[in-house]
Structure 1
């Protein structure tokens, strides 16, 4: 298991609790922390937890994922964002599916949780309340229902999203991990997916488990990452010949912040502090 952390101790606590509630424990949890001090971990962990510090004021997401993968000792790399609670069969399914298809990359179903100040733990057991979690979660309307599905091929590699994905360490190594030239928010996962496609690695939906995304307020569009998105979109365009993150770029253009054509992305102006503040969504918004 690999995860990245900057802040979000409560989310991390829930992720840890989810791993402690697995029907089969992971061999280890690798935590790449993008903050000075590592996150707090319970002392009585039933599996190894190892930390690696990845400094950088701007989010070094690609570098952090590479550092976590390099430190991992197992053959299965299951990457899960810190704001996720793995369902109790996540580790078991990750091990099973990688053993069956080593050159595959697998995306579990994600259930999005509403805001809940008291969290998702069962106070009596100290474990996640999976009954409440399952009843409260909602699948993204653009994603398929994987009930009754074991494994299903995905036609487009752009479905890959860093929130949760699973692959064999040799598959990761075959493309050299993530491109660390992508710094800050956006682009590194789509670039990684393109290189996986070139290497002949298939992309699959994985049934039999759900990862539950813990709520946090989101910006729509993510104006707080404006400059990083522009830089990374341009980097992707130079490398692959088309644009990624077009859903955000289109919204930036509608706001008069950028202009874009097939070859150039031009910054017209930066978003104002008021525009950034207004883009922050309320507790009722689960999806960005």
Structure 2
């Protein structure tokens, strides 16, 4: 819903899937605020769109196999319908934000269905305010992490849980249910919120800041 496919997206995917029976991940570029106001053309986006700093880019050409199912990201992907149905599709127990992509990647990995990046299959992600880590989805992230653990024996979304723990929002010690210690407040939303000049929010930069604060606090103690 928040992506605009480039004119060649379907042709790119169809061409590769004619000979490759697996899941393909196309390119994603992020648009700044205002890029889709007024008259616009897809080819105009190249001048303003940026790549996400925490996600790997496409291969220089063709297809490149991905050996880590955790890389799967449903923002922009394609696969053969028969293969999607054969593995059962997405697990419908996930409710709200988080975990469903990693679960599906794990399903594919277990079933022996390969995952790969492609050059092409481009989609432009439209700007909208967001939070990373997603403190506005705290409850669903917790619930879905525990559902993933029940299905696979370990928790996913570890980077978000780590950030929530550094913020003092949760207690997620192993072997016990995740416990909410407090609700996110205005300072948490300000820390994690995407600013109007940013094409995307970035969990890694927030974690680095939180870890620096923890280290400084420990040094001062």
Unaligned stretches of 5+ residues in structure 2: 202-221
Unaligned stretches of 5+ residues in structure 1: 1-81
On the 8 A contact 1:258/1:265 being kept in 2, the answer is: no
**Cα distance, 1:220 vs. partner?**
2.4
CA distance in 2, matches of 1:185, 1:145: 24
CA distance in 2, matches of 1:194, 1:105: 12
- 1:206 and 2:118 aligned: yes
- Cα 1:147–1:162, aligned 2, differ >3 Å: closer, same or farther? closer
- 1:281 and 2:194 aligned: yes
Residue in 1 that maps onto 2:91? 179
Of 131, 143, 158, 2:43 maps to: 131
On the 8 A contact 2:59/2:118 being kept in 1, the answer is: no
Identify the structure with the greater strand proportion. 1
- 1:114 and 2:32 aligned: yes
On the 8 A contact 1:111/1:137 being kept in 2, the answer is: yes
In the superposition, the TM-score normalised over structure 2's length comes to 0.83
Q: CA RMSD in A?
A: 1.8
**Cα distance, 1:250 vs. partner?**
0.5
Q: Relative contact order, CA 8 A, sep 6+: which one is greater?
A: 2
- Cα 1:229–1:134, aligned 2, differ >3 Å: closer, same or farther? same
**Cα distance, 1:175 vs. partner?**
1.5
Q: How many residues align?
A: 200
